[in-house]
Amino acid sequence: MGAVIAVAEARKRQLRRGAWAAAGLLLFAGCEDSRGRAPLPPTAPSAVTACLTAAGELTADVNNDGYRDRVVDPSRVGARLTITFGVGSARETRAGVRALADRAGEHQQFVRAAVADFDGDGWTDLVVVAGGGQRGDDPIDPKISELRLGPFSDTGRGQRTVHLDMGAVKDIAVADNNQDRYPDLLAYTYSGDGVYETRARLGDRTAGLTNDPHEYTDTADGTGYDPPDDFLHAGPESFYPRCAAGDVTAVPDTA
């Protein structure tokens, strides 16, 4: 009799586990549906030439849908990065840093984002850093510190996510730190005890951005809360040609 009860109990537990697993799958599928998926892996180079407008805005097809997208960041430190997807087309939509940080960045105190083709494959990549503010003497690492390799979606979902171990980052920007014409990432980082410093993470053909602390290049030490001059000279200008006359206005059919 005891053995029969034990078998019945085991069966019930099995059913409960199955029900939880099914619920989990449904929940996961729901998330993916509501936020969309990463764009399909590209099978050919982008038909849209990445270039800079006269106003210095980067335009490229970052989500590989054939439509030109425009990237601006008036803050120059990643705080107000905004991407307009499908500029001038019927499907034009806009996404700021919180939307690009996706679900994980939704409730964070601060979000920073920057774009560049860090791994040199021709597709624009996205860096997202998000978390709580710095309080007190000890640095607080961000909750999210990621490179999302492009093409990426309007919710910031890329082909692959690379975790970046950059410490307590506050601001980020793209720059050519080692003057090799390839984009690197500047990070304004809290070192603790009121001291901030600027570090560069170098662009890397394999990883996208180097993850080895020995590859850091300290560019300046600073105290206080204002990013140093390095950030004033950062931006996409070094890495892209000026747009030709027809580049920015040409969009595919808007059906």
The binding site for Ca ion (CB under 5 A) comprises 61, 63, 65, 67, 69, 117, 119, 121, 123, 125, 150
Q: Which residues contact 54 (CB under 8 A, 6 or more apart)?
A: 242, 243
CB of residue 114 to Ca ion, shortest distance in Å: 13
Element (H, E) at 191: strand 184-192
Contacts of 234 (CB under 8 A, 6+ apart): 76, 173, 174, 175, 186
- Write down how long the chain is: 255
How many C-beta atoms surround the C-beta of residue 204 within 10 A? Answer: 19
Helix (H/G/I), strand (E/B), else coil: 199: strand
Nearer Cβ to Ca ion (152/188):
152
Give me the least distance between CB of 63 and Ca ion, in Å please: 5
Q: Which is nearer to Ca ion, 46 or 134 (CB)?
A: 46
The answer to whether residues 100 and 81 touch, using CB atoms and an 8 Å cutoff, is: yes
The residue among 92 and 121 lying less far from Ca ion, judged by its C-beta, is 121
CB of 208 to Ca ion, least distance (A): 7
**Is the Cβ of residue 105 or residue 150 nearer to Ca ion in the bound state?**
150
CB of 201 to Ca ion, least distance (A): 15
Pick the closer one to Ca ion by CB: 148 or 170. Answer: 148
Least distance from C-beta 32 to Ca ion, angstroms? Answer: 20
CA distance 238 to 111: 25
